[in-house]
Amino acid sequence: MNKILKKYGFNIIFLFTNILFIFLLIYKKTTFSHLNYEKQKLDNNLEDLVKEKQKLEQELLIIKEPRKIQRFAQKKLGMQKVKISQVKKI
């Protein structure tokens, strides 16, 4: 046994070290692939959120338009324009 370790010890250690490095390389590649997939999913999600934000900002600009607010107040809330004669001083 002792003679075998002396004769083949370096080769056995070298072989196991290479196998270990191969497994570490495979682990690194699979981890990298998984992280790239997650990054791609998050990038797509970010892109969708940016589009939704732009859409909502456009809707907000349309809603904040003074003529639209006035029409909404008159039709939906039944408000009327105030005439100067209706204003009382206190």
Does 49 have pLDDT greater than 70? yes
Does 43 have pLDDT greater than 80? yes
Q: What is the dihedral of CA 67, 73, 76, 81, to 10 degrees?
A: -110
* The pLDDT of residue 1: 63
Does 45 have pLDDT greater than 80? yes
CB 79 within 8 A of CB 73: yes
CB 43 within 8 A of CB 37: no
* The pLDDT of residue 30: 98
